[in-house]
Structure 1
Amino acid sequence: MSKSTLKRFGVSMDEKLLKEFDQMISSKGYENRSEAVRDMVRDALVKQSWKDDEQYVAGSILLFYDHHHTDVLQELINIQHDMHHAIMATTHFHLDHHNCLELIVVKGKSGELRKFSDQLISIKGVKYGKFTVAPVEDTLA
């Protein structure tokens, strides 16, 4: 990893917006505005990188579902077996008698993982799903 140099720049902002921003960063525990802005820029760049289907990423797929729903478990298993090369780990939690939470840690090309995630999230019986990623390459210092 190469050492990067910090560069300064100024940002003009409406007073009301700045006050709301300061309240938000304080509630999240940032020590200063620069840290918050850096995180926001990194997040925007990661989201932009998802548009590149060839970008190599690592991430997670979170699924919340009713395991009593007809065939939901079998469909989840079948799709995951087809993508075994991209799955690094899975964790399954029993929330109550009906509901489960599953976390699938993945690594691969963003386009392939997005399609995989969409397949899982769209299964009938999945109540909620979310796909989050970060680039594997250390380009966002």
Structure 2
Amino acid sequence: MKLAIVAALPALALGLAACQSEADKQADATEDALEQRADADLAASDGAVVALGMTERQLLDADLVTADGTELGDVEGLRRTGDQAGMEVTGLIVELEDSDPDRYVTVPLNGLTMRHQGNDMDVQTSLTAAELAAMPDVELPTV
């Protein structure tokens, strides 16, 4: 019986993929592109502080939070002048919390600060969830 279940798993996965909506497919493609871009930038950053007193890795591990620590989103990438590693960071690409399908916006560095919460380092903003939701979706560069 176990063999039949294991043999059925690839077919089940294909069936689930076929049921995926166009919005979900686009969200997956966006997330994949952001991850590839972040990996390339991370390899080029060499552990140096790039913005807000944080390294690229710290920024990519950070959440975007309010002053009281409420999570507004996850930092998924960095927006740079010229969009190349080694260039000045001008904003953060943030996946908005509880968006369905996933939405990504660029949050300018102006007004952002580093926030320590225990051992975690996050990025604090004065923007509200509604203000972030009103921002245009990020246009991703080609990878």
TM range (shorter): under 0.3
Question: Normalising by structure 1, what TM-score?
Answer: 0.27
Q: Specify the structure having the higher radius of gyration (Cα).
A: 1
